Structure 1
């Protein structure tokens, strides 16, 4: 394929190739043909020969570095990038290549142990060098670097800087390239990510007519161009000259966060929170509480001390007796590893896996209570003899206050069937108080309603009785009850409660947090009049307090799109319920789409089914098939453990809709995802044996989540993964 002579020159000058490095057009075309023919090493060899004849040409060095990076040859790429920078130090593309290179490095164990700055932080600085050299449009290589640095920051867990870079990429790339937006939405779907960290941080405006206005506007202009380091320097100078203007430390903190300086980010947010609190005439300002809450979420210096997750390895004295006891004991429960767990195991998987329980598993879970339902205290894996290892039993558990009691349970159940402990390893680190992480093993026949009641009762007890008296590092070692009585810690304890609410809201009734505020003597957040705020930029964490009936259609539409992007499920539910009754939004937000969204968001089954029924009626009214709504109801019924109703819907779909395009496939995919039918491979084997399995819902336990969360039956193994890792 011929190179377009009117395309931007790869040297990064911003000029067209024809008017910049036109003498190299033929050589660049040869390299391009080799790359299209999957001959990257031949392309490298040709570039080296050409560079020998015309040394230091930026366009050739840029191509060479890109090919070396694509091959993973980071050492050679580093040499090429250094040559590029030396030959053309004011070329933004050269600095962009340095950023891409730094983003490609992963720190080794020695660097991590020595506290070295992550390579992503170095990549940010190289990228800022490039951004500060951009005079007009952003060169393609710089845009590529923005995306690469954003991904590296995500992999390192720097959410604030990663989000800023991905938004910058999306803003420059436009609608033709949605990769950054897809990554942002994928990140926002992580259920463990608090809403405060999903929302966008907007720079605040300086007061009109203030002496700082002109310089502040300049800082905002620099920030809008992605020159965040320069904006930070200017804002920090303004902070020194105008220490009482609260908008300055906030904006300085935000741009510090965008360039990956979390220490400055946290300190700036706290300075801002203190300023607005000191200047407030009425209660605790929302700005102060939210800023302190974000600081608590990101401040590594006041993280609560967790517990080690340890792996104990025992020799096996009597294999037959061991397996028999594990199978017969009421303190153990057989556990089937998921496909993802099996793939994560290095070497051969265990022959048997069991959950170790703190009390006997009851015969029935009907009428279950927290006192009768066992908690999971460990995972047992039995490995048979291998070439290089004898038989062994591994126990993974928390080294918490129940550690010795758990070992006592193990000894009592297995006795002489196991031998000596041969090894002990730290497998990871558990966060938070063990009492906040109840992990249940319900009997298989436990009704969904009983499971939820047990979980809710236990969470209520922990939140109202244990949490208020637990010393917290973020409260200078005081308990929430003590901090609530200390005026100097009022903002901090209110923020700590906000963090707790956001990280638990999906599974805890909102009324519990109202009770908790009352118990601690903390103020209840007031309702918000939408006419007095800017709903375009209002923090999503406040939207639940907004009287949405007074908002305009444009505001509702804007809020809905923001909540969808942020994955703010509770806020999205409230906004969607308001939107569905507004005829003026029907074109932009079709009611049928809102019915489906609301059915997925409603926490109560009856409310969700009501939206599905409205969807059916809308489909009937337009002559469309309502099979999609049947599938939606089927999923809800299964999750709720209503298997008789689920079987009825399966029969209805089979009799009435199976011949419709795509329905059979969607039904199978849904049933497989819910664990109701075997995989395609298993189906083929069964049919080969003359068996024809009939899809039907069995009375299996609802759920199936492998996360160790309050209320889950079974634990995840491994752990320690970051929120998002680039594939």
Structure 2
């Protein structure tokens, strides 16, 4: 181990190497090499001997724990760390590793005391030693749905990390804040606020709570803030306690305190934000859910099984990812099928489909081939939500196979304990279930028809269905019932903001005008701002109240970057329009990104004329670029083509495709392959393409039909130049 004698010891005790673990350094190097070359058992045997011979050297205990953790033996890793701490109770790295192992083995709540001890011990010697602990907690909590806690632990990791790791951790934060499947109210910064406290003893308690929170000891801080809140009644202290409980993963207690803070808050908009957080946390922890059911079957003959299923007009074959798109670590199904509520006419172009008879997906089937080498049979997994959907899915399966078919293919229902669950369908809160729908359209139905039907469905859900849904946040009342009660005004407005987050996660951008006007719900008022206003501590929900038009150029540029990260469409749209209205700001931004974002927002809102106008703005901007103008123009042309293909009745579609063919086909021959594929797939009248040209399709490209977001590969006919397409 080539370490200078006066360098810090690699056991991270805080001592110099010479005065800590110098005498066993060479042995540890050999042991580490054994582990790296997959001789872990031998490495552990040597470590056991080394610990007995040099019990005063922490590095042998630390190394053993690190090896065991690398092998995911987290429970086992705790023993050498506990032995190390018996000899050196203040060893910061041993505390940090023990907390990490305990957390990964037992979970956050069981490991909380160990975690807090580690954070405080590390702070005394080297706070950066807590970085791996904080990041491990953050990642695990995000996967488990504790979003406020996960975000704060990412921020904690940033606070304690050494400078060399801060950039990577910053990217973790950006990735979290940009995840639109997380309610936007949980993303972005949340800070503990100060408030005037006259009593000196209370002030001392406040400072202690703040220090504990800064270290990551959130439950300890929460208890102190709650104690102060009960003594003083100040809303800020209730709010601080609520955040700290959420960061400690006690979301039930946090929700109670947010509800309490909302009642005490005099500012209506602030009260709505607190109540929104409370209702979101309640939903995150409700037992009132529509759960998904998984049925697992063993099959002797997959070919017979699939043949029988595909004859049923309510079972549709889906696409399985190509080998190049598959994650080698995942067990990817060899076939995927969907079960729908009503028969689907594969040749239909949607003339007979309206909002009340769209086929609904009621079940999914994943089919996994047998692995003869591992002596594993073929497996079929059926997923559906409980109640009517699982009953209908099982009925369709019985109809498709009948008793004889089950015998022929050797279908056998397995016990749930026999197979590890891999159910991809998440439970849905019961009160959100009315908003949840999955439709299946025949392939030939134009995309514009599908989007129009989805827009009609959302209009109905938002103006009628949601208004008549009983909500826990309204004490079990419906929004229509709550609208007549003044004391539920805050809760009703908060419920609308919860709906805002829910609809975004389901792919719809809520406009408050879509809600029944009789409810009397409107967006929260704008913040009062001036040139001295600072927004770095604004939550995402507060940020959306910032009036873009009243900002200075510098303020607008700061908010522009934050808005692009959180990507709340209503606010982002206003910010982007304001940027385009200021010449100095336009010089500072990537206009291509601005136009493409506006295109995306308007497209998802189904504002087709405005979408096309932003596409044309993007094309005009591309033509002015000093470099890569051709590639940029092509990107925008393909984006427009993708948009136009949604409406195959567009009389200008064929001419537009010919324009691309003539203008770009010579320099990028692959474009012609894609245009041929589009013409064939969408059954377009492209008379300017010859029959022989269309007949070459099978040999022209092995990549299939392109759509924006797909990548492409080099083609020998392109003289070595790769075709650059949207999404690359």
**Fold conserved between structures, TM > 0.5:** yes
Q: Say whether the 8 Å CA contact 1:384–1:391 is kept in structure 2.
A: yes
* Runs of 5+ consecutive residues of structure 2 not aligned to the other structure: 417-422, 647-652, 682-695, 711-728
Query: What SS class does the counterpart of residue 176 from structure 1 fall into?
Result: helix
Mapped pair 1:274 → 2:263: yes
Structure 1 range deviating more: 75-84 or 468-477: 468-477
Aligned 1:47-446 pairs, distance under 5 A: 47-105=47-105, 119-136=107-124, 138-173=126-161, 176-177=164-165, 178-207=167-196, 215-242=205-232, 244-276=233-265, 279=266, 285-299=268-282, 300=284, 302-309=286-293, 311=295, 327=310, 330-338=313-321, 349=334, 353=337, 355-361=339-345, 363-366=348-351, 368-379=353-364, 396-401=383-388, 423=413, 430-432=427-429, 434-446=433-445
TM superposition shift of 1:314: 11
Contact 1:368-1:451 at 8 Å conserved across structures: no
| Residue range with higher mean Cα deviation, 557-566 or 326-335 | 326-335
Alpha-carbon separation, structure 2, partners of 1:33 and 1:385: 39
Structure 1 vs Structure 2 CA RMSD:
4.7
Structure 1: stretches of 5+ with no match in the other structure: 106-117, 659-663, 677-688, 705-727
TM-score by length of 1: 0.76
- Tell me: higher relative CO, structure 1 or 2? Use CA pairs within 8 A at least 6 residues apart: 1
Deviation at 1:457, TM superposition (A): 0.9
- Which one is further off, 577-586 or 498-507? 577-586
Q: State the 1:59 CA deviation.
A: 3.5
In 2: Cα distance, 1:10 partner to 1:54 partner: 16
C-alpha change, 1:47 and 1:288, in structure 2 (3 Å) is same
Matched-pair contact (CA < 8 Å) for 1:3–1:28: no
Q: Any idea what the Cα deviations from partners look like across 1:351-404, whole Å, max 9, x if unmatched?
A: x84533325537221474213432233346789999999999986443434666
Shift of residue 620 of structure 1?
3.9
1:290 Cα offset (Å) = 2.0
The answer on 1:656 being equivalent to 2:639 is: no
Alpha-carbon deviation of 1:294?
Answer: 1.9
Deviations 1:436-471 (A, max 9, x none): 222222222222221111111112212222222222
1:457 aligns with 2:460: no
Match of 1:625 among 613, 623, 628: 628
Tell whether the 8 Å contact from 1:100 to 1:148 is kept in structure 2 after alignment: yes
Q: Secondary structure at the match of 1:655?
A: coil
Aligned partners of 1:593, 1:392: CA distance in 2, in Å?
45
Hey, what's the Cα distance between the residues in 2 that align with 1:185 and 1:10?
32
Structure 1 pair 16–587 and aligned structure 2 pair: CA distance change class (3 A): farther
How far is 1:423 from its partner?
4.6
Give matches, 1:541-690, under 5 Å.
541-585=541-585, 589-603=589-603, 604=607, 606-608=609-611, 610-626=613-629, 627-635=631-639, 637-638=641-642, 641-642=645-646, 644=654, 645=656, 649=660, 652-656=663-667
Task: Find out whether 1:448 has 2:436 as its counterpart.
Answer: no
Q: Residues 432 and 612 of structure 1: is their aligned pair in 2 closer, same or farther, counting only changes over 3 Å?
A: same
After superposition, the C-alpha distances for 1:49-76 in whole angstroms (9 at most, x for unaligned) are 4433331333332233212222334354
Structure-2 change in CA distance of 1:444 and 1:258 (3 Å): same
SS at match of 1:167: helix
Q: What's the TM-score, normalizing by structure 2?
A: 0.76
3-state SS in 1 of match to 2:339 = strand
Is this contact kept in 2: 1:360–1:374, CA < 8 A?
yes
3-state SS of 1:530 partner: coil
- Equivalent positions of 1:688-707 (< 5 A) are 692-694=699-701
Aligned residues: 662
- Matches of 2:329 and 2:25, distance apart in 1: 49
CA apart distance, 1:267:
2.1
Compared CA separation, residues 374 and 228, structure 1 to 2 (3 A): closer
Q: Deviations over 1:201-241 (max 9, x none)?
A: 11112138786556434533443343434433432332232
What's the secondary structure of 1:302's corresponding residue?
Answer: coil
8 A contact 1:536–1:559 mirrored in 2: no
- The answer to whether the Cα contact below 8 Å between 2:314 and 2:340 also exists between their aligned partners in 1 is yes
Give the C-alpha shift of residue 161 in structure 1: 1.7
Residues 478-557 of structure 1 correspond to what in structure 2 (within 5 A)? 478-505=477-504, 507-508=507-508, 510-511=510-511, 513-516=512-515, 518-531=517-530, 534-557=534-557
Seen in structure 2, the aligned counterparts of structure 1 residues 657 and 11 have a Cα distance that, compared at 3 Å, is: same
SS of the residue corresponding to residue 355 of structure 1 reads strand
1:379–1:397 Cα contact (<8 Å) kept: yes
**Contact 1:270 1:295 (8 Å CA) reproduced:** yes
- Choose 522-531 or 30-39, whichever is displaced more: 30-39
User: Does the 8 Å contact 2:187/2:540 carry over to 1?
Assistant: no
